[in-house]
Amino acid sequence: MKTYPIAQSNRTPLCDEAQYQSMYAESINDSDAFWAKQAKLFLDWDKDWAQVSNVDYTQG
C-alpha cells in the first residue's frame, strides 16, 4: 500500500480540544443554534432562513 505524507498546512488543527468539546456540546444541546451560527460564519446567504432544520432524532 502506498502512503502519502501529510501536507504541512494540514498539520495545524483548526481548534484545540477544549474548543472542540465546547462546539460538540453546543451541537448536541442546541443543534439549531449551533448550525445557524456555523452557516452565518462560513456561508453567504441572500436572505436569512425561517427554519434551520427539520429533524426528528427520535425517529432515527
Give per-residue pLDDT as tens, 43-57: 998 998 889 888 887
Q: How far is the C-alpha of 33 from the C-alpha of 38, rounded, in Å? A: 9
C-alpha cell at 41: 460564519
C-alpha cell at 43: 456561508
Q: pLDDT of 15-52, one tens digit each?
A: 999 999 999 999 999 999 999 999 999 999 899 888 98
